[in-house]
Structure 1
């Protein structure tokens, strides 16, 4: 008997801009070659100012995000202040590395804190962690490395960064059979989090 699991073979993109970060993802979840969910939400709240994008096994990444969110809630109570983005990312890294033989989880951890501003940490499967100005993950990322490298600018405004992310996810959806649906975006700044959804008619269509 053959078994399938829900898999987030996906496209994740995140980029820093002066004042915050923007993260984005498609919404397709597949079970083998079958699309199990067209509108899943892969952008997950960890704290009020730190979110993650998930790729890999849906079950693994959901459980991982829940555990890290619980630990950070306890950490914030103990410390009496919001958790730093790097603290959240390090908690992900510790668990991804400790259980690297059991988990299939790729994470982009992004957020804002008053010490270091907007930050993005990429945690590919296996538990490595690296901070990047612009990062991508999932099966669709291989199609858009050139676009990201050529078009990212560190002095983006928030709206320019949103448009950059929207176009990147759209291009990956156009080429990658495991990415699809809508493009969800979260803008994280000192003022909080703004979430947007771009439906099919709002996605960028390459000529």
Structure 2
């Protein structure tokens, strides 16, 4: 089994999404001690944003194109993907968006057909470990402004992922009490996360 662990928060060790993603990976390792893990920190090693030169395969960006192919291979070879998702300005970080742009590739993770698009990544499980400063859950005033989890659900569904878990710590910027209760709820959700990687 192969697990790809992605972190995207700019806050380093203070990041709640990093704490949650690390805990989710540890939970999976408990049941699957032989699992092979690749950790990719999108802040420590940024993924360059796509440009017209990429599409034209300009000689100036050949190293970057090779890096993009490595990112795609990591994703394709993973059975489970755990992503630490920090919410910035109502959506995902630009670092995570740059990574998404390298794995959502026609002919690799999806294809166009006469009946519409077809996802090619049906064999994967994605676990999102989301950290949000405000309260975005159903019924809260910011619910309609949450564009991180919603976007990632759409993108992974587009490429065929149907096995999806979302762990959320929210209210982290409201008060210390909200921060602690949000983290506690998220860690409790991780503690009961199905650790199986082979279903």
Which structure carries more relative contact order (alpha carbon 8 Å, separation 6+)?
A: 1
User: Which has the larger share of helix?
Assistant: 2
Relative to its length, the structure with more strand (as a share) is 1
Q: TM-score, normalised by structure 1?
A: 0.29
